[in-house]
Amino acid sequence: MRGWLIAPLLVGLVAAPLTAQSPDPLDRRVSLDVRDVSLGEALLRLRHAHQLPLAWRGDRIPRRRVSVSRSDVRLGDLLDLLLRDTELVAVVSGSTVVLIGRRASAVTDTLGLQVASGIQQLDQLVVTGTPVGTGPAGDQPTALTVVTANDLAAAPHRRLADQVRAFLPGVLPWDRGGTGPAPTLGAVRGVASFTTRGPKVYVDGVEVASSELFTLLDGRMVDRLEMIHGPQGAALYGPDALSGVLQVETRKGPPVATALAPRGALVAGALQRDIDGGSPWFEGALGADAGRPTAGFAGMASVSRLGHDAPLAEAWRVQVGGRVTRGAVAVEMSARAASRDGNLEQQGLTTGGLRRRDVPPLEERGLGVRMVHVAGASLSQTLVAGVHQVSGTREPFRSPILAPRLPLGATNELARRWSARWAGRAVAGPLSLSVGAEASRRTLERSLRGGFESVGLSTLYAEALDARGVFTQLAGRLGGVHLVAGARQEWLSSVGREADRPWAAMAGASWSHALGPGTLRVRLAWGRALRPPEPGMSEALRAGQIQQLANPVLRAERQAGWEGGVDLFWPSGAWLRLTGFDQRADDLVQQVDLRQTAAGARQYQFQNVGGFTNRGVELDGGARVGPLAAAARVQLLSSRLAQVSPTYAGDFQVGDAPLEVPRSAGSIALRYEPGRARVEVGALWVGPWTGYDWALIARIDAGQLAVRDRTRDYWLDYPGVLRPFVGLHAPLGGRVALWGRAEFGGGTVRDNLAPAVGRVMLVGVEM
């Protein structure tokens, strides 16, 4: 079993002479004098007084008061005293002292397979910002957003798309009428690509085949979300991380001894729309968790249905996950399958109501295995391998008035990605060196429906993209400043001449300082990322009445820029984070209508548009006073075309905003928790944006209006959307609770053609 470990541990042989002399941080001599303070505050004071590398999960610290007076004692002995009669124990991971559950596996917990983190605590552990295992978020120079299982369970959001809107407002999944295709992502910090708007997405460490479709996951099985915003994450995760990196971790079973515990939900309600009144909504889920110190299991199956006898949409999902620890090796496994079928949907103002259209269901399959090996306090490595597949409608049928987003106007795709990733880390005192490699193969088959009412599909083309990358990251501490620098080189079987060896880089620093009982952190980071064109974009292709011209000089999309921020955290759980960013995205690729025909076919070509500036501010904060807790997250954005490429022949002009990129987004919530019950009120909003006037285009397609000269003549400025919500969780006895959620106001939709969603009322029981 351990044969795979031998070659990668060469990195350990290089670092062994240095690490052999590294002192045990638990042997440091420390002093502490506190009277009747919370355990969390005592730990913070201890860490700040001696600049100790202490890290822990905020949600695992018991709410107890302590009084301690000790001078010149060993850190390990003092922690034993503070943690006496708790479930916590101090374990050394590299140069960091991690407080974990006493009955949990040290290998699993310290390397982040079960360690999550709370956005309220600076001393959290994160996986996303480190290539191997975990590291304190306070050491990360980039803006990291971490959403824990506790955060997700306490909020009234059960759909993954709603969870992303509430906790990651800069990552916007558009709703297209409630019954249309699965939500696609609008933008992350402006626009970095016209063809793939979302971040690079990993589920349980395995890269997904199509990053915009991760919302097929069941939100009840999500254990943690971690997000790097901007191009800084590309130095670790590759060229598709142009807009950031999103890590989705699913449940693998509790880390402590737990008998088989059922979980489930039964929900009923109604979705009100402006075209058909109220439509009934039914949802059911059933699963179970079990755990012990060396193993765990979690699984769930769910079904949902919207509509009367002829369903507007229906879906099913099955997800399972597990973990096993044997000595120094921990293994995680996860598998999932899902299908979403939107059989009826409104397509235009001229239809006079619902219109039948047979659309292939959107399906997902995924399988992954992750192995972690801890060779000692200073050496660790991880290996992840898996496969993911999505098939079905990638884009709804697009009017021939507009240039297609995908080659030849493809609407359906079958994408499959095999991937493997290895990384190793060696720690020597204040320095840590990480190296790694990643390889993937993505096969892609795209097809087209013959028309609006067509059932059959015509295959347009099939491509394969091979990607191999190597990366390294060096981190160290200089006084109170933590410095990080990394780079990644990529080899791609891509079509762009300048995209054969893209590389990414990042550099940053963070500084933390005690501010009374709280913590002040200042951070600054720069990043550069590059994304090659998709397969087929540079080639000459033809299907029916569409001819795509070759573009051998098509360049890769690039984004680079700075971000900086200030964070404030208090032991009470209050926090405030402010981040400003200034990034520039160059050579964005767009399919341009050349407004000419040849042999009866309209000609298009993928071209580089030019350079967009993405500037903005992100602010999130919250506080708790007794049973009341409040949180708000806001992003303000300015994204404009600053320079037009000399080879661009499309409609964008200097000063234009990118389409379907809101100028602001946010969420706010106020929660009241009397005992075990919870009531939450809040709102999600999306600021104004520029998009297509789809209602006008539908009338032109129907022959009611004349065709306009330019596609920019179909642009429309949309107002912002505010959607208040209220949620309820009330225990009914034992493990059963009443759950309810209601939404009001305008729908979060991307256009004026999809049916507007009004009030949504859901109520049910949960285990």
Average the pLDDT over 181-204 and give the result: 77
Average the pLDDT over 705-728 and give the result: 88
**C-alpha span between 612 and 616 (Å, rounded):** 13
Task: Give the percent of the chain with pLDDT over 90.
Answer: 20
The helix (H) or strand (E) run that includes residue 307 is strand 295-307
Lowest mean pLDDT among 590-599, 638-647, 721-730: 590-599
Give 153 or 128, the one with higher predicted confidence: 153
Give which of 610, 694, 599 is closest to 650, Cα–Cα. Answer: 610
Burial of 238 (0-12, 13-18, 19+ CB in 10 A): buried
Average the pLDDT over 586-607 and give the result: 85
* pLDDT digit string, tens, across residues 738-750: 988 888 876 556 7
pLDDT at 673: 87
State yes or no: pLDDT of 349 exceeds 80. Answer: no
Contact indicator for 25, 97 with CB cutoff of 8 Å: yes
**C-alpha span between 684 and 749 (Å, rounded):** 13
In the three-class reduction of DSSP (H, G, I as helix; E, B as strand; rest coil), residue 240 is classed as helix
The pTM of this model reads: 0.82
pLDDT at 574: 81
Give 377 or 238, the one with higher predicted confidence: 238
Average the pLDDT over 442-464 and give the result: 66
Lowest mean pLDDT among 210-219, 394-403, 469-478, 692-701: 394-403
CA distances from 474 to 98, 123, 152, 487 (A): 21, 21, 33, 9
Q: Give me the residues paired with residue 305 across strands.
A: 282, 314
Helix axes 39-50 and 75-82, enclosed angle (nearest 10): 170
Contact indicator for 316, 301 with CB cutoff of 8 Å: yes
Q: Give me the residues paired with residue 628 across strands.
A: 625, 672
* pLDDT digit string, tens, across residues 79-114: 888 888 776 777 776 556 666 654 343 333 333 333
CA distances from 281 to 91, 181, 456, 678 (A): 48, 17, 30, 23
CA atoms within 13 A on the CB side of 274: 12
Q: What is the CA radius of gyration of the chain?
A: 26
In the three-class reduction of DSSP (H, G, I as helix; E, B as strand; rest coil), residue 209 is classed as coil
Give 360 or 373, the one with higher predicted confidence: 373
pLDDT at 104: 40
Contact indicator for 306, 312 with CB cutoff of 8 Å: yes
pLDDT at 453: 44
State yes or no: pLDDT of 666 exceeds 60. Answer: yes
**C-alpha span between 191 and 168 (Å, rounded):** 16
State yes or no: pLDDT of 348 exceeds 70. Answer: no
Looking up tokens 């620890």 gives 325
Instruction: For 655-700, give the secondary structure using H, E and C.
Output: CCCCCCCCCEEEEEEEEECCCCCEEEEEEEEECCEEEECHHHHHHH
* pLDDT digit string, tens, across residues 248-261: 999 988 776 678 88
State yes or no: pLDDT of 638 exceeds 70. Answer: yes
pLDDT at 318: 95
Task: Give the percent of the chain with pLDDT over 70.
Answer: 77
Average the pLDDT over 498-523 and give the result: 78
- Tally of CB atoms within 10 A around 549: 17
Q: Which amino acid is at 118?
A: G
